[in-house]
Amino acid sequence: MIEKTYLKTKPECKVKFALPIDKVEGAKKVFLVGDFNDWNESATPMRKQKTGVFASTVNLEKDKQYQFRYLVDGKIWLNDESADAFAQSPISHDQNCVLQL
């Protein structure tokens, strides 16, 4: 799930990324990985909420497009079904999620 809140005072959008419990059941660590953090697999950890959902909020520059995926326990890559689009990954047969701001 993706929630976008455009800031009135800056050319940014506050984006909340959340993975539902059924996608991450039993997961110990989940990271948000994308071109906005240079695909660094440990730069943006997602926090487990009381509901079991993993979530993270990032401020991103608006009027841009970003690609991202979720990394679960360092080995399982997941996409977000609520992404704006999907694009072929340049390094694998997988597709990346696309976020349009």
Listed by start position, the domains of the chain span 2-100
pTM of the entire structure?
Answer: 0.94
Position 92 scores a pLDDT of 84
Looking at beta carbons, which pairs linking 17-20 to residues 24 or more positions away fall under 8 Å? 17/46, 17/55, 17/56, 17/57, 17/58, 17/68, 17/70, 17/80, 18/49, 18/53, 18/54, 18/55, 19/46, 19/53, 19/54, 19/55, 19/70, 19/78, 19/80, 20/53
CATH of domain 2-100: 2.60.40.10
Mean pLDDT per 10-residue interval, the chain, length 101 residues:
96 96 91 97 96 96 97 96 94 93 97
